[in-house]
Amino acid sequence: MANSEQAMKTLEIYDTTLRDGTQQEGLSLTVSDTLQVARLIDEFGVHYIEGGWPGANPKHDEFFARAPVELELTNAALVAFGSTRRAGEDAASDPQLTALLEAGTTIICIVGKTWDYHVTEALRIDLDEGERMVADSIALLRAEGRRVFFDAEHFFDGYRANRGFALDVLRAAQAAGAERLVLCDTNGGVLPAEAATVVAAVAAAIPDAALGAHFHNDAGCAVANTLAAVDAGVVQVQGCVNGYGERTGNADLCTIIPNLVLKMGRDVVSREQLASLAPVAHHIAEITNTTIDAHHPYVGGAAFAHKAGLHTSALRRRPDAYEHIDPSTVGNTTSMVVSELMGRATVLARAEEKGWDLDPETAGLVVEQVKELEHQGYLFEAADASFELLVRRATGWEQSFFSVDSFHISSERNQQGVEVVEAEVVVSVEGQRFVVSEQGDGPVHALDKALRAALTPSYPEIEHIRLTDYRVRDLDSSDGTAARVRVLVETSNSTDSWNTVGLHRNIIAASLEAVEEGIIIGLLRAGRG
């Protein structure tokens, strides 16, 4: 392996979220979005940010026009990306190279063919011209005073098919002045053993080259391949935040960077910067309007969530017993999932977190209740507020805000043929009975409106409590109309949100249970009781 001291000191992170990452299906950013993402990536501490491809579209052109004025990068250098000159043309008059120079960045990354199959079949030129296209383009950019990185496109396929040509292109790029020779697995099909072997072989064949690695994730190995390439001696790794990218994505910097720092001792970012990883990943996900998988390593919401009772019991005694790192080092937190698999430790930990006074014996009773209720079909890991009420009741607490004595739902079509749904509820509050009817867009909406109308005179806080999400699942589909139905409801006020669950063979009764508990929690959050 080529792990020299120099390589250990110079390992660089090259972020291509704004160019390669935006090729992901369904991901589209405005120019203002890209500037905001660039600021976040810079603050995180990467070394290079690839801003896009000048001349490829108006968005990228606008980005490079605005970046010098609106971006004040403190850690990263901005890079413009483009391709080599066209076949048979002069580099000095090539419009793509002109656009790259006009972008005004001090560093340019140029991509060129290193797979003979692409040169002869896609470009339909001979291999000598393919090599000259790379050399001429880099030489022109260097003559204009720019630093140049070379992305060797399809390198691993090219090395496998014709290693002589693939290496010749790298040597030509280096001779023309390229500072980094980045070996790209453009098709994403390489496995870690091959990645390490090829990088080591290239390092031996061109010993004075500064190599980089760029992997796609089509075989699910982009992160592993990148780490293998680091071990084999690359000085630059390329990837995207949250693994964004075309098809199955690029190498995920949100997994690579903590692995490098925490597992491999490569301080590519500071510990302080690493502690912002999860917040940065989620902030960028918000900007890109994407959702991070809860089970995403390091930054996912469930990355340090524990469900089994054995795990949670040990965690209370020794936090490092079932976690490979301290979650706070990457800006995440430990969580203990409420379910039928939990033990008393989970309940006690949740009680301590919420400030509830709970003894071990009562916690054991709660565990048994949860097991029985989840056996029936309740789901408390998705209904934190219902679990809170369960714990409160186990300590002897009873809600005295209100009781729903009865409800009735009716539906009919009016003269315009529109379905009109009406809910009537009978509610008792402090000895008084209220009968209220409300119409709604559906039975649950009408029921929710009627219940709130009945309670608001006694509890004005309910004006600020809203049902914000409603989900239904049929638990026994083979039973047809007699199946049990589970309803999950999200309720929120101006500052918080919570989830409750209801279960019944009657969907309206299940909905009422979840809605009712949502309102009870809202009143508790408002300081009642």
What does the pLDDT read at residue 262? 95
Angle, vertex CA 440, rays to CA 437 and CA 441, nearest 5: 165
Helices (H) and strands (E) in the chain, counts: 18, 16
What does the pLDDT read at residue 394? 82
Task: Give the span between the Cα atoms of 433 and 279, in whole angstroms.
Answer: 49
Task: Establish if 294 belongs to a structural domain.
Answer: no
Task: Establish if 296 belongs to a structural domain.
Answer: no
Domain boundary among 344, 378, 412: 378
pTM of the model: 0.71
**19 with 96, same domain?**
yes
**46 with 186, same domain?**
yes
Give the residue numbers spanning the domain of 226. Answer: 5-269
What does the pLDDT read at residue 371? 77
**360 with 448, same domain?**
no
**472 with 334, same domain?**
no
Task: Establish if 500 belongs to a structural domain.
Answer: yes
| Other beta carbons less than 10 A from residue 171's beta carbon | 15
**Count of the separate structural domains present in the chain:** 3
**232 with 323, same domain?**
no
| Other beta carbons less than 10 A from residue 28's beta carbon | 11
Domain boundary among 361, 378, 395: 378
Residue 347 near residue 366, CB atoms below 8 Å: yes
Task: Give the span between the Cα atoms of 58 and 356, in whole angstroms.
Answer: 57
**76 with 219, same domain?**
yes
> DSSP 3-state assignment of 426?
strand
**243 with 130, same domain?**
yes
529 residues of the chain, pLDDT tens digit each: 444 444 444 799 999 999 999 999 988 899 999 999 999 999 999 999 999 999 888 999 999 999 999 999 999 999 999 999 999 899 999 999 999 999 999 999 999 999 999 999 988 999 999 999 999 999 999 999 999 999 999 999 999 999 999 999 999 999 999 999 999 999 999 999 999 999 999 999 999 999 999 999 999 999 999 999 999 999 999 999 999 999 999 999 999 999 999 999 999 999 999 999 999 998 998 888 888 887 899 998 777 666 554 444 555 555 666 678 888 889 877 665 554 455 556 666 666 666 667 777 777 777 777 778 877 888 777 778 888 888 888 878 888 899 999 999 998 887 777 788 999 999 999 889 999 999 988 888 899 999 999 999 999 999 988 888 888 887 765 555 556 888 888 888 877 788 899 999 888 999 999 999 999 999 998 888 7
Task: Establish if 280 belongs to a structural domain.
Answer: no
Q: Which residues of 391-425 are buried (b: 16+ CB within 10 A; e: fewer)?
A: bbebeeeebebbebeebebeeeeeeeeeeebbbbb
**372 with 412, same domain?**
no
Domain boundary among 269, 294, 327: 269
Nearest to 400 by CA among 366, 431, 372, 377: 431
Residue 284 near residue 242, CB atoms below 8 Å: yes
**39 with 98, same domain?**
yes
| Other beta carbons less than 10 A from residue 317's beta carbon | 8
What does the pLDDT read at residue 2? 43
| Other beta carbons less than 10 A from residue 496's beta carbon | 10
Residue 370 near residue 386, CB atoms below 8 Å: no
**422 with 326, same domain?**
no
Residue 377 near residue 486, CB atoms below 8 Å: yes
In the chain, the N- to C-terminal Cα span, in Å, equals 66
**32 with 173, same domain?**
yes
Structure tokens at 193: 């053993």
Task: Establish if 195 belongs to a structural domain.
Answer: yes
Nearest to 15 by CA among 59, 63, 66, 78: 78
What does the pLDDT read at residue 216? 98
What does the pLDDT read at residue 309? 46
Task: Establish if 343 belongs to a structural domain.
Answer: yes
CATH of the domain at 488: 3.30.160.270
Task: Establish if 278 belongs to a structural domain.
Answer: no
Nearest to 410 by CA among 438, 433, 430, 385: 438
Task: Establish if 408 belongs to a structural domain.
Answer: yes
Residue 215 near residue 190, CB atoms below 8 Å: yes
**Which CA distances in Å does 326 have to 258, 261, 262, 370, 397?**
12, 13, 10, 29, 36
**454 with 514, same domain?**
yes
**Which CA distances in Å does 216 have to 98, 195, 247, 378?**
29, 12, 9, 41
